[in-house]
Amino acid sequence: MSSDRRIHFVRHRRIFFAISIALTLIGALSLALAGLNLGIDFQSGTSLDITTGQRMTMEELQPIFAEAGTHPALTIGGDNSDRVSARFPEALEKDVRDQILAAFRDKYGSDNVSVEETTVDAEMAREFGRNTIIYVGLASLLIMGYVIARFEWRFAVSGIIALFLDAFMVVTIFSVFRLEVNLPFVAAVLTVIGYSINDTIVIFDRIRENLRFAKLKTFDDVSELVNRSLWQTLTRTINTGVSVLVVAIALCVFGSEAIRLFSLAMILGIVFGMYSSLFIAGQLWAVLKYRSLARARNKKPAAA
């Protein structure tokens, strides 16, 4: 395909930047107004996941919990609506728990009912929250240091901005649609960060290789360099992304309920990671690189 018939990724950078800014503003607004739907890992309380092997409805379940004097948040799932997740804002007392399970066994049969219980106290929830912030921040700093050591600061700034966009877009989707944020979600975000920066570094490496033989004077020169590098790595980016995406979709569709949100976060992260690698990171570097060239040219007449 001749270069004049190709999509020029850098020439349309303002469109991509505008889309990213709009999505970021939507995410910031959603977080400010609604926040995140934090799971039991980040809030004190008890989670009961009860499986009955029979189809259940809210009309059947609400009286069971009401008779025990509780009104938890209920979510029905499973392949046949045979699993209910009950989230209690406070630690559940043993006698209340036993009363709920006894009611389930009376209604659906003792042999059919199984339960998974998770209780997190307030201090443990705060510790999970602190550790999450520390680990994500540390991962970002280490990635930035690695990119600076291997390339230059302009690559590092562009890569980190693109990386922030990937993670923030996943958080935005979970905030807007009120999906539960738990420890598997954090693991998915960290996985996406590693995948996304690897994809971006491949593109940066090709830009650096082409940079050795390029004579950059105008923005068109920088733009053509980045565009050529993106096209040279496009097949690799798409093949890798689609391969991982197929696995993540399979896990989401055929996997258990416990890993569904993890798989969804992975799918979103891979899609946004491909987007930022192709439409954000290289374009940001092109803008920063041209500005440095312009400053260097302006200093020469002043020095003379």
The residue ranges of every structural domain in the chain are: 3-39+124-303, 45-120
CA–CA dist 49, 40 (Å, integer): 12
Question: Class for domain 3-39+124-303, per CATH?
Answer: mainly alpha
Give me the amino acid identity at 224: E
Structure-token match 């923030």, residue found: 168
pLDDT (0 to 100) of residue 126: 80
pLDDT (0 to 100) of residue 97: 92
Question: Class for domain 45-120, per CATH?
Answer: alpha beta
CA–CA dist 264, 276 (Å, integer): 18
Angle at 201 between CA 174 and CA 160, to 5 degrees: 50
pTM for the complete prediction?
Answer: 0.82
Residues whose CB is less than 8 angstroms from the CB of residue 19 and which lie 6 or more positions away in sequence, other chains included: none
Q: Spell out, as residue ranges, where the chain has pLDDT lower than 70.
A: 1-6, 300-304
CA–CA dist 230, 208 (Å, integer): 12
pLDDT (0 to 100) of residue 124: 79
